Amino acid sequence: MFVATVRISGDEPIGFTLNRKQVIIEQIVSRWSESGRWWDGEVPCRFYEVLTSLGLFLLCLSEQDNIWYAKPVH
């Protein structure tokens, strides 16, 4: 997983930057939230599985520090 710069419209991601290339989200396939294992120090996150022209990606927004992470889904 890598830190990503994500573009937002309303509350939804619409694109992100990958290796200095702008990637447009064509479809949000699914979305969910997890509270994390707070007893182990995990923080709440919002997840988005998104379809792009480069394939399927998982985006995660850490709600504690407002940092986005991205990971290709194989």
pLDDT in tens, 2-48: 899 999 999 899 999 988 899 999 999 999 999 878 778 778 899 99
Whether the full predicted model's pTM is greater than 0.85, yes or no, is yes
Which residues have CB under 8 Å from 19's CB, separation 6+?
none
Whether 14 and 8 have beta carbons less than 8 Å apart is answered as yes
The gap from C-alpha 53 to its chain's centroid, in whole angstroms, comes to 16
Q: Are 16 and 70 in contact (CB under 8 A)?
A: yes
Per-residue pLDDT at 43:
83
CB contact at 8 A, 66 and 50: no
What's the whole-number mean pLDDT along residues 39-60?
Answer: 92
